[in-house]
């Protein structure tokens, strides 16, 4: 599909249509299941490159809705997020027939993957971070400052989408924020930097549960605060790390997963 503008994430009709697409693909008629599963995939795409950029200490443009472009899977979920270095110009009619159907007729020209080696300004990733007093900042100080800067825009984006998704689906906002915690923590573990996940979640605000991690068989996993509800869809089972599994069952499954690499 052609890319979709980020502003569509706060369009009630578009959200409802994407959840309906996912429900049809996963053969469920539950708005609660469809919306939760859709948000797990979408939230993961929204934070993936941000976490990666912070872990690699690369600068990125602010992830505001007006900068985002999305590509969709066939089931209506967001597959990947791209971030323009410039804000989209305003259009008289944002919701055109093509956009409502899930396509942006302008395509992805000028869009770049968030944090995928692109620079917001020339030479940004060669420059040493400098504190207000002119001294070079330590990695930890620089990381905290960078996290705080990107968190302002990311929180506004996530909050706006969560508000509209909750209104459309009836899923409670705290449950949607818990998903954000888990996908941030998951990408931080993948990057080998769990501390980045903790810093970003903390900077995003008190709505997020604190990310939790557990070591099993020599590997670090996320101790999840949220459930994607995929097991309620026909023919599906609980995830290996599902918080609704018995603790001993979950640990045994994670240990087996770790051993198999």
Q: Do 203 and 147 meet the contact criterion of CB atoms below 8 Å apart?
A: yes
What pTM value is reported for the model?
0.80
CA separation for the pair 111, 124 (Å, rounded): 18
Based on the number of CB atoms within 10 Å of its own CB, is 236 exposed (0-12), middle (13-18) or buried (19 or more)? Answer: middle
Neighbours of 77 (CB within 10 A): 23
CA separation for the pair 202, 176 (Å, rounded): 16
Q: CB-based contacts of 231: which residues, under 8 Å, 6+ apart? A: 237, 238, 239, 242, 244
Q: For residue range 163-216, list pLDDT tens digits in order.
A: 999 999 999 999 999 999 999 999 999 999 999 999 999 999 988 999 999 999
For the record, the structure tokens of 80 come out as 């990947």
What DSSP designation does 221 have?
E
Q: For residue range 210-255, list pLDDT tens digits in order.
A: 999 999 999 999 999 999 999 999 999 999 999 999 999 999 999 9
């Amino acid at each position: 599909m052609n890319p979709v503008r980020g502003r569509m994430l706060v369009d009630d009709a578009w959200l409802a249509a994407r959840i309906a697409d996912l429900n049809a693909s996963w053969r469920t008629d539950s708005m609660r299941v469809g919306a939760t599963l859709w948000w797990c995939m979408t939230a993961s795409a929204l934070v993936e490159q941000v976490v990666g950029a912070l872990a690699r200490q690369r600068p990125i443009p602010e992830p505001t809705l007006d900068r985002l472009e999305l590509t969709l899977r066939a089931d209506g979920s967001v597959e990947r997020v791209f971030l323009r270095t410039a804000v989209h110009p305003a259009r008289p009619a944002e919701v055109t027939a093509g956009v409502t159907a899930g396509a942006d007729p302008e395509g992805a020209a000028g869009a770049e993957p968030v944090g995928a080696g692109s620079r917001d300004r020339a030479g940004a990733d060669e420059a040493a971070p400098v504190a207000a007093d002119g001294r070079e900042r330590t990695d930890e100080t620089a990381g905290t400052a960078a996290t705080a800067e990107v968190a302002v825009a990311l929180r506004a984006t996530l909050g706006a989408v969560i508000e509209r998704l909750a209104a459309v689906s009836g899923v409670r906002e705290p449950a949607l924020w818990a998903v954000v915690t888990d996908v941030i923590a998951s990408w931080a573990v993948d990057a080998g930097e769990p501390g980045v996940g903790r810093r970003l979640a903390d900077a995003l605000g008190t709505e997020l549960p604190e990310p939790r991690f557990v070591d099993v068989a020599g590997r670090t996993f996320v101790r999840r605060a949220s459930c994607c509800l995929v097991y309620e869809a026909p023919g599906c089972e609980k995830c290996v790390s599902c918080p609704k599994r018995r603790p001993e069952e979950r640990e045994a499954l994670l240990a087996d997963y770790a051993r198999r690499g």
